[in-house]
Structure 1
Amino acid sequence: MATGGRRRLKVVAIIVSAVVLLGGGAAAAFAWTAAREPVVPRSEAGAIEHPPLSPVEQLLHDADDPLACALSFAGEGAPADPMLQRQSALFQGLPIPAREGFVFGGWYPTEAAATAFDQAARVNGADAVVCVDQQVQLFAGWMTPEQNVAENAQIPILMYHQFTAKAEGESGWLRGNYAYIGDFEAQMSHIASSGFYMPTWDELSAFIDGRLFLPAHSVIITDDDADQSWFDLAVPVIDKYKLLSTSFMITAYRQDPAPSIYVQRRSHTNDMHQAGDNGKGRMVNWTADQIAADLNASGDILGVREVMAYPFGHYNDTAKQGVAQAGYEMARTIEPGLVTIGTDKLALPVVRIDYGMTVDALIKRIG
């Protein structure tokens, strides 16, 4: 008799024995249940074996956080492994993949949006994480280098300083540095409602290299010095419109935590925002080693390097050497201009915002 047949006879014999020994309906019910109960896989030690967790399940299991979100990627050249994000925070560390003969076009919530390079749908570190069942997937977009160049993107970096609630402005020699908060709100409202893309600094770096596509309709918002008026007047506006911004902090003067998820803290040096021996900033008086030491101190406090802003806009080749030596990839000047493919990363130009600039004046500069 075949092995399967012998096994079935054995099971039936066990059931019949149970009925005879226990008797009646109860015994029959027991036998029926025993016959129906599935066989649970067990290890040699007797422990129940569970199927292995998927990479996404394992990531969420290890996080053990109800706000954890497993981000996975799809599309040619996309990373195979998921990465952990946190719901209600901004996306952090999104990869910029490389693919021979192509320029990365960004991350999108659907394949169709990735194919169309849908700017309104594009996702980056300026966006809050939104998950369904603690999971989200993004699709990679790719274009040719020719398509990227044809976009002719010229990225403005807006530079603000202090802010005032006085429509008539402040008095004194720094009057021009103070943006009227009413003008600032109108400018931020325009940026938010006009669908500007808000690049992160790593995206800007990859754009300069020609590795990443940025839409022509992009803008970066920065503030120098982290003045108290930035915290009191400007940050509530940034929060209101949910616009990614950067606060360049002089860390010897203040080390406040980020006042909003939309505010990135970056270095304005640790203690080089002072005049050196020749009356110009320390940045152009110190050696590369001294500059690097100061920037390392600032970077350690902020927990990030990436980009810094030159105090007073003063810099030279020695300053650039010190910046690079400290591990910073980019540096922002106060020189007017727009960032394009091939721009000097250690001499990023800006669009300076002075007192009296209205939203119409901003539109003339950035669209």
Structure 2
Amino acid sequence: MLIVIAVIALLLVSLYVSAHYNWWRPRVDTSCPRVLMYHSINESAEGISPDLVVHPEMFEKQLQYLKQQGYQFRTITELLDTQPDGKNVVLTFDDGFRDNYTQMFPLLKKYQAKATIYLAPEIDGIERLDQSQIHEMRDSGLIEFGAHTMHHINLDKAEPEIAAEEISQSKAVVEALTGEACHAFAYPFGRYNDSNVEQVQQVGMRSAVTVKKGIEQISDPFRIKRISVLGSTNALQFHLAITRGRYRV
């Protein structure tokens, strides 16, 4: 009886570990770019979901890992425009948290890493980047700014005219904030439909990222998959995500 209980316990532990550490997934060839999804980089998750907040120390370790593995940091538009050879990674940040300037940006400068930040200029509930911070980040040559709708709405549920306005207005406001053309878009909540994809294309965007997890060659620049990095993602899970596209079921 004790042997049966031990076997069952071992099986349950194995299933748990395999579900949270997907070592069994096949490795994805390093010629495929890695597009990572972040939100906030902060020591505290006060007021928002802890999953959206990566501690600065962990983020720095992730940058060190990527450098050690030989990845080259690109913005999303740079990646798509130049299609560089070798191992490439794109760091993307949704929403436009102010800590992208206070916490994340110093680390990017330290490691000369590039990133793309998708701004939702009138999103509620977060401390947002201001224009002086945006300009400093832009002038560094390390940051590309994209759009994320004005109010961070679910485009798939919005009336077509509202969705179109949110997309076009966010592009215009981001261009006013940065003084540069805005080519990149991120679907809020990863929610969108075929009509939204057409709307993004019609306003002159050249790419759009989703929240669908995975690593692949980019065949459709308006449905780009990303690797989600959460506040709870540990070093082993990050390695599995970078090599396999996701680390848990």
Q: TM-score, normalised by structure 1?
A: 0.50
2:159 alignment partner, one of 267, 281, 285 = 285
Q: Give the structure 1 partner of residue 241 of structure 2.
A: 365
Q: Give the structure 2 partner of residue 163 of structure 1.
A: 41
Which blocks of at least 5 consecutive residues in structure 2 are unaligned?
1-28, 124-129, 244-249
- State the alpha-carbon separation in 2 of the partners of residues 152 and 193 from structure 1: 14
How many residues are aligned here?
Answer: 202
- State the alpha-carbon separation in 2 of the partners of residues 346 and 159 from structure 1: 16
Query: How far apart are residue 284 of structure 1 and its match?
Result: 3.9
1:265 alignment partner, one of 145, 161, 164 = 145
- State the alpha-carbon separation in 1 of the partners of residues 49 and 164 from structure 2: 32
- State the alpha-carbon separation in 2 of the partners of residues 213 and 296 from structure 1: 26
Q: Give the structure 2 partner of residue 214 of structure 1.
A: 85
Query: How far apart are residue 319 of structure 1 and its match?
Result: 1.0
Cα distance change on mapping 1:159 and 1:283 into 2, 3 Å:
farther
- State the alpha-carbon separation in 2 of the partners of residues 229 and 292 from structure 1: 24
- Spell out the pairing of 1:34-45 with structure 2 (5 A cutoff): none
Q: Give the structure 2 partner of residue 350 of structure 1.
A: 226
Per-residue Cα deviation, 1:107-157 (whole angstroms, up to 9, x for no partner) = xxxxxxxxxxxxxxxxxxxxxxxxxxxxxxxxxxxxxxxxxxxx7722221
Cα distance change on mapping 1:291 and 1:191 into 2, 3 Å:
same
Q: Give the structure 2 partner of residue 26 of structure 1.
A: none
Cα distance change on mapping 1:324 and 1:258 into 2, 3 Å:
farther
- Give the number of the structure whose residues are more often helix, by fraction: 2
Larger radius of gyration: 1
Q: Determine if contact 1:248/1:309 at 8 Å carries over to the other structure.
A: yes
Cα distance change on mapping 1:296 and 1:172 into 2, 3 Å:
closer
Root mean square deviation, CA, Å: 2.6
Q: Give the structure 2 partner of residue 43 of structure 1.
A: none
Query: How far apart are residue 159 of structure 1 and its match?
Result: 0.8
Where 2:160 maps in the other structure, the secondary structure is coil
Cα distance change on mapping 1:188 and 1:296 into 2, 3 Å:
closer
Which blocks of at least 5 consecutive residues in structure 1 are unaligned?
1-150, 275-279
Query: How far apart are residue 242 of structure 1 and its match?
Result: 0.6
Cα distance change on mapping 1:247 and 1:200 into 2, 3 Å:
closer
Which 10-residue stretch deviates more, 156-165 or 292-301? 292-301
Q: Determine if contact 1:292/1:325 at 8 Å carries over to the other structure.
A: no
